[in-house]
Structure 1
């Protein structure tokens, strides 16, 4: 393996790691927002039942 190939592999690895990190982070955010929305909706349903 020459230097160019190693550099390319390193860059590829870095890019993959960064994109995975980004996807995981935004996915977690969306997931949390989804949970919050669901709990808000269920709270609204509960209050509708009570009134």
Structure 2
């Protein structure tokens, strides 16, 4: 029984680590997405000013 419970705990910790990695990736993707939108807005503003 102890080995079964230990295996279960290890699996849960692996799943939690995977969720943490996916959360970090999601934050990274959102940051890149916001950065791209920000750059697009800045470029549109510059174009409208210079033309």
Structure 1 length normalisation: TM-score?
0.87
For this pair of structures, how many residues does the alignment match? 50
Runs of 4+ in 1 over 2 A off after TM superposition: none
Instruction: Quote the RMSD (CA, aligned, Å).
Output: 0.8
Structure 2 length normalisation: TM-score?
0.87
Q: 5+ residue gaps in structure 1?
A: none
Q: 5+ residue gaps in structure 2?
A: none
